[in-house]
Amino acid sequence: MNRFPGIFAKRGSPWMLAAAGLAVMPALVLATSGAVDPPAPASNAARTPILMELFTSEGCSSCPPVDTWVARIDAAQPVAGAEIIVLSEHVDYWDHDGWKDPFSSPAITERQQEYVHNLGLSDVYTPQIVVDGAFEVKPADAQQTSQNLTKAAGTPMIPVRLSSAAVSAGSLTGHIEVDGSADKKNADVFVAVAIDKTLTDVLAGENNGRKLENVAVVKAMVKVGKLEKGKTFDQPFTVKLWPNADPANLRVIAFVQESGPGKVLGAGMTKDIAKGQ
């Protein structure tokens, strides 16, 4: 019995055909007139964070065009007044098909399954994008995606501040401050450590012979505490890193999320990571 209905019916599926079209569309959301403005000159502190989680795999032939689209969003920041914080999360259910994705994780697969269940989505598939833990977007529907991102930019978020990020002795440490004084819900505080940019020569599977680039590839995601309703969170954190992690090619993302995983209430990101002894 197929554990993930619909996942492996990939060739000729409507999503694959739509995703294939992304390769020839120059910018999609970036090219949509009116709905999304050019990048705003405002500082990150004044911009509303939008957490964009892309569930993807190097073993999926329909994923690279959407990986590229997400990388463009990450670089261009096209939504005025917002900072789109990208997480590329690699699932493991494609690893059976000839290529084991070096970034895949069963925990990421479980996270995607929980989103599909909690949001009442029709299926688990790649590439799949969840925004702010609250809704799904499909880049092939440029107008709807633009409208959803613009709406998310207008949604108030809890302030999240990351500071003192540093790598030393195989771990990444830092400090998180969250102002939850105006919020009336309990939530979990997470830290994700991601590789800023990756480049993989795929030697088998559906993407055999391709050189794949990704941004913000999640390697670690841990819950570091709990935000109690009406209170603040002000704590240090430590995340164990993988061997040969390069501090110059990392980004750290902190986010506050209702249990479930549920709605994301706030997020912050930094690439300013010191290298310790």
Read off the pLDDT band of 183 (50, 70, 90). Answer: confident
- Is residue 6 pLDDT above 50, yes or no? no
pLDDT of residue 97: 86
Q: Which CATH architecture has domain 14-153?
A: 3-Layer(aba) Sandwich (3.40)
Q: Determine the average pLDDT of the residues in 82-92.
A: 98
- Is residue 19 pLDDT above 70, yes or no? no
Please give the DSSP secondary-structure letter assigned to residue 248. G
Contacts of 175 (CB under 8 A, 6+ apart): 162, 163, 164, 234, 235, 236, 237
Is 97:206 a contact under the CB 8 Å cutoff?
A: yes
- Give the Cα separation of 269 and 251 in Å (integer): 7
189-229 residue pLDDT tens: 999 999 999 999 999 999 999 999 999 999 999 999 999 98
- Is residue 64 pLDDT above 80, yes or no? yes
Sign of CA dihedral 244, 271, 223, 125: negative
What average pLDDT is seen over the chain?
Answer: 86
pLDDT of residue 159: 95
Fold match between 14-153 and 160-193+220-275?
Answer: no
Q: Nearest CA to 253 among 177, 168, 162?
A: 162
Percent of the chain with pLDDT over 90: 78
pLDDT of residue 216: 98
**CATH 2.60.40.10 describes domain 160-193+220-275:** yes
- Is residue 35 pLDDT above 90, yes or no? no
- Is residue 61 pLDDT above 70, yes or no? yes
Domain boundaries, the chain: 14-153, 160-193+220-275
pLDDT of residue 46: 75
- Output the six-digit token pair for 203: 């030697």
Beta strands in the chain (DSSP E): 48-56, 82-90, 128-131, 135-137, 160-168, 171-179, 187-201, 211-227, 232-240, 250-257, 264-270, 274-275
pLDDT of residue 9: 32
Q: Determine the average pLDDT of the residues in 134-142.
A: 96
Contacts of 152 (CB under 8 A, 6+ apart): 48, 50, 79, 82, 131, 132, 134
233-257 residue pLDDT tens: 999 999 999 999 999 999 999 999 9
**Sheet arrangement for strand 48-56:** 135-137, 128-131, 48-56, 82-90, 211-227, 187-201, 250-257, 264-270
Read off the pLDDT band of 77 (50, 70, 90). Answer: very high
Is 193:269 a contact under the CB 8 Å cutoff?
A: no
Contacts of 110 (CB under 8 A, 6+ apart): none
pLDDT of residue 277: 58
- Is residue 170 pLDDT above 90, yes or no? yes
